[in-house]
Amino acid sequence: MKRFFLSPGSLQGRRMVFTGPDARYISRSLRLKRGAEIVGFDGAGMEYTGTIAILSPRRVEAVISETSVSEELPSVRIALAQSLLKGRGLDGVLRQATELGISEFIPLATRYTIPRLYQEGEKRRQRWARIAADASRQSGRKINPVVHPVEQWKNFLARAQEYDLSLLPWEKEGEKSLKAVTARSAGGGVPARILVAIGPEGGFTESEAAEAVEAGFLAVSLGPRILRAATAGVAAVAYLQLALGDR
């Protein structure tokens, strides 16, 4: 059955209503017919099965026959804080990290983030939320990651206390590796909520790393090779999923 993301407002009483590109897609591209069953999901955990009752390229309405709570939350909930990247660099990271199952995405402004990007508005956040919703749909996720507004480093630090494990991959960390840290966790109680913060292209400064550790982050190495910032975010999430996440 085809699955569609329900934007706020698409749920009208016992009906799912699609307009704009969604309606065109359903009627023209998919050529679904009246009577066909579709599934809508709201990205917050609810799922609706409905039968198409009204069909035109402008408007599609489906009558809901069944409402259910979608998938269980993943066993490990990963929040990826990724420093802002040049251009649309963050888009790809968000998309791939969503496929890999992150629960939260926090765009981060650090010392070496390009200053022009400090003024990140609500519009940009909504664009990222759409990217996350789209990637969720493609990978069959029913709960979209929460996309936070851009956070400034100083405010971000306090988050360390909100998670069971807060990690700062830092290429200058010589002792602790992510591999060793997760191997230790995997044996005992697996942390349910993990925060992982990735620096920008220019990296974290020494003082940022020190502040993070002071705030409760654990600095870890991702291995002997330096990864580009975008690679590091995706690799860290993949690694955490493999080591601690869903089987």
Q: Which stretch binds ligand SAH (CB under 6 A): 25-33, 138-146, 158-166, 221-229?
A: 221-229
Site residues for ligand SAH, 189-208, by CB under 6 A, read 198-199, 202-204
User: Residue 247 class from Cβ within 10 Å (0-12 exposed, 13-18 middle, 19+ buried)?
Assistant: exposed
CB of 201 to ligand SAH, least distance (A): 6
Q: Which is nearer to ligand SAH, 26 or 244 (CB)?
A: 244
Name which of 169 and 245 has its Cβ closer to ligand SAH.
Answer: 169
Q: In this chain, which of 90, 153, 221, 240 binds ligand SAH, going by CB under 6 A?
A: 221
User: Residues 226-245: x/- map of binding to ligand SAH (CB under 6 A)?
Assistant: xx-x--x-------------
Residue indicated by tokens 């939320």: 129
> What whole-number distance in Å separates Cα of residue 67 and Cα of residue 50?
9
With CB under 6 A as the contact rule, the residue among 107, 145, 169, 245 that binds ligand SAH is: 169
Q: How near is the Cβ of 147 to ligand SAH at its closest, in Å? A: 20
- CA dihedral 16→20→25→27, nearest 10 degrees, is 70
User: Which residue number has the CB closest to ligand SAH?
Assistant: 199
Instruction: Tell me which stretch binds ligand SAH (CB under 6 A): 45-53, 88-96, 136-144, 169-177.
Output: 169-177
Check if the beta carbon of residue 85 is closer than 8 Å to that of residue 230.
Answer: yes
Enumerate residues 6+ apart whose C-beta is below 8 A from 120. Answer: 84, 107, 109, 149, 150
> Is 223 near ligand SAH (CB under 6 A)?
yes
Token pair of 226 as six digits: 């330096």
Work out whether the CA dihedral 176, 180, 181, 184 comes out positive or negative. negative
Site residues (CB under 6 A) for ligand SAH, limited to 93-132:
none
Binding to ligand SAH by residue 171, rule CB under 6 A?
yes
DSSP annotation of 143 reads B
Query: What's the rounded Cα separation, in Å, for the pair 129 and 66?
Result: 27
Residues that bind ligand SAH (CB under 6 A): 169-171, 198-199, 202-204, 221-223, 225-227, 229, 232
